[in-house]
Amino acid sequence: MDKVTQIKSATLTDDLTQRLTAEIVEGVLPLGSKISEPELAKRYGVSRGPLREALVKLEALGLITRTANVGARVIELNIEDLLDIYTLREAMEGMAARLAAELISEEEVNELYKLLDDHQAHLDANQDEHYVSQYGNEDFHLRIIQASQNKKLIRALTQDLYATIRMYRRYTADSRPDPRQALREHKAILDAVANREGDLAELLMRRHISRAANLLKKAMLQNSISQGNTGQP
Amino acid sequence: MDKVTQIKSATLTDDLTQRLTAEIVEGVLPLGSKISEPELAKRYGVSRGPLREALVKLEALGLITRTANVGARVIELNIEDLLDIYTLREAMEGMAARLAAELISEEEVNELYKLLDDHQAHLDANQDEHYVSQYGNEDFHLRIIQASQNKKLIRALTQDLYATIRMYRRYTADSRPDPRQALREHKAILDAVANREGDLAELLMRRHISRAANLLKKAMLQNSISQGNTGQP
DNA sequence: TAAGGATGTATTGTCGACAATCTTTAGTGT
DNA sequence: ACACTAAAGATTGTCGACAATACATCCTTA
Closest by CA to A98, choosing from A139, A153, A138, is: A153
Average pLDDT, rounded, for chain B: 87
Chain D: bases < 7 Å from a protein Cβ: 11-17, 21-23
pLDDT at B130: 64
Q: Which residue has the higher pLDDT, A119 or B138?
A: A119
Q: What is the mean pLDDT of residues B185-199?
A: 98
Listed as ranges, the nucleotides of chain C within 7 A of a protein C-beta are 11-17, 21-23
pLDDT of residue B155: 95
Note the pLDDT of residue A2: 32
Say yes or no to pLDDT of B225 above 70. no
- Model pLDDT for residues B26-61, shown as the tens digit of each residue: 999 999 999 999 999 999 999 999 999 999 999 999
The SS3 assignment for A229 reads coil
Residues of chain A with pLDDT under 50: 1-7, 226-233
φ, ψ for residue A72 (rounded to 5)? -115, 145
Per-residue pLDDT averaged across B153-173, rounded?
A: 87
Q: Which amino acid is located at B196 in the chain?
A: R
Band the pLDDT of B229: cuts 50, 70, 90.
very low
pTM for the full model?
0.88
Q: What is the mean pLDDT of residues B159-183?
A: 82
All residues of chain B having their beta carbon less than 8 Å from the beta carbon of residue A87 are 95, 99, 150, 152-153
Buried b (16+ CB within 10 A) or exposed e, A209-227: beebbebbeeebeeeebee
Of the partner residues B14, B56, B152, the one whose CB lies closest to the CB of residue A85: B152
Q: Which domains does chain B have, with CATH numbers?
A: 12-74 (1.10.10.10), 79-226 (1.20.120.530)
Q: What integer pLDDT is reported at residue B5 of this predicted model? A: 36
Nearest CB neighbour to A87, from listed B61, B95, B160: B95
> Residue B2's pLDDT is what?
31
pLDDT at residue B152 greater than cutoff 90: yes
pLDDT of A168: 85
Answer yes or no: is pLDDT of B3 > 50. Answer: no
Cα angle: B84, vertex B89, B90; to 5 degrees: 95
User: From the CA of A25, how many Å to the C1' of C22?
Assistant: 29
